[in-house]
């Protein structure tokens, strides 16, 4: 098990990194504003759940493949870019439902969207591979077990931080003046966010 001092330092750094504006945070806020609190919380849980896979890959050393194999890295990167472009296209085609609200999707669909968004970002896998080993104590037991614990700690704080961000962004969306024009502008803005995230994912 990681020593308590390492865990506290890891938790502090993890919270700071999670709160820093990045693709996942921007994606989460855009979904919350567009769909409300439930949408924000669903996407937050989806993004957090994807970290289970990244933790497992990092603990098993599989994430090294993405660092050493440009082909594997690029395949995942282009798949993620294509997914974001598909989301952007869907956002631009959204039309307000009755009452001027845009249909953002149900909770399970938004949850899956968050999971896919997280899994198709190879930079998250590399981030875990770079971060977790720094807090592993070689004398503290099996390295894989320590990395698994650190990954679960990271995921737990992400659930809290992202859940709060998703709820607050959903509250902001609920305060916006309802109407067809407002809803349409939100959809266009969301599409532009997805396009921007696709560009950021393609960046070196």
Nearest to 91, CA basis, from 177, 27, 48: 27
pLDDT above 70: residue 177: no
Instruction: Write down the pLDDT at residue 36.
Output: 85
Average pLDDT over residues 106-128: 87
Instruction: Write down the pLDDT at residue 100.
Output: 46
Average pLDDT over residues 169-198: 76
Instruction: Write down the pLDDT at residue 96.
Output: 60
Q: Which of 15-24, 65-74, 131-140 has the highest mean pLDDT?
A: 15-24
> Dihedral (C-alpha) 95, 98, 104, 106: value to the nearest 10 degrees?
-140
| The model's pTM | 0.79
Q: Provide, rounded to the nearest whole percent, the portion of the chain with pLDDT above 90.
A: 18
Lowest mean pLDDT among 15-19, 88-92, 102-106, 116-120: 102-106
Q: Could you give the maximum distance between any two Cα atoms of the chain, in Å? A: 62
pLDDT band at 10 (very low <50, low <70, confident <90, very high): confident
From residue 112, alpha-carbon distances to 50, 116, 117, 145 in Å are: 9, 6, 8, 28
How many whole angstroms separate alpha carbon 188 and alpha carbon 167?
A: 22
Q: Provide, rounded to the nearest whole percent, the portion of the chain with pLDDT above 70.
A: 86
Average pLDDT over residues 108-125: 88
Helix (H, G, I), strand (E, B) or coil at 171: helix
pLDDT above 90: residue 46: yes
Instruction: Write down the pLDDT at residue 121.
Output: 83
pLDDT band at 194 (very low <50, low <70, confident <90, very high): confident
Token digits of residue 48:
């957090």
- The tens digit of pLDDT for each residue in 148-158 reads 888 889 999 99
pLDDT above 90: residue 190: no
Instruction: Write down the pLDDT at residue 162.
Output: 95
Lowest mean pLDDT among 24-33, 68-77, 163-172: 68-77
């Amino acid at each position: 098990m990681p020593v308590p001092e390492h865990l506290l330092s890891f938790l502090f750094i993890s919270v700071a990194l999670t709160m820093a504006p990045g693709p996942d945070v921007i994606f989460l806020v855009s979904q919350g504003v567009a769909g409300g609190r439930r949408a924000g919380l669903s996407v937050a849980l989806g993004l957090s759940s994807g970290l289970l896979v990244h933790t497992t890959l990092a603990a098993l050393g599989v994430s090294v493949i993405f660092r050493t194999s440009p082909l594997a890295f690029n395949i995942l990167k282009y798949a993620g870019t294509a997914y974001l472009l598909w989301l952007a296209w869907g956002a631009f085609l959204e039309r307000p439902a009755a009452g001027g609200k845009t249909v953002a999707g149900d909770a399970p669909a938004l949850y899956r969207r968050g999971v896919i968004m997280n899994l198709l970002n190879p930079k998250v896998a590399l981030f875990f591979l770079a971060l977790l080993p720094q807090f592993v104590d070689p004398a503290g037991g099996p390295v894989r077990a320590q990395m698994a614990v650190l990954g679960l700690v990271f995921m737990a704080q992400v659930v809290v931080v992202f859940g709060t961000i998703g709820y607050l962004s959903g509250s902001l969306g609920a305060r916006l003046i309802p109407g067809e024009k407002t809803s349409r502008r939100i959809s266009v803005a969301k599409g532009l966010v997805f396009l921007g995230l696709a560009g950021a994912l393609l960046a070196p």
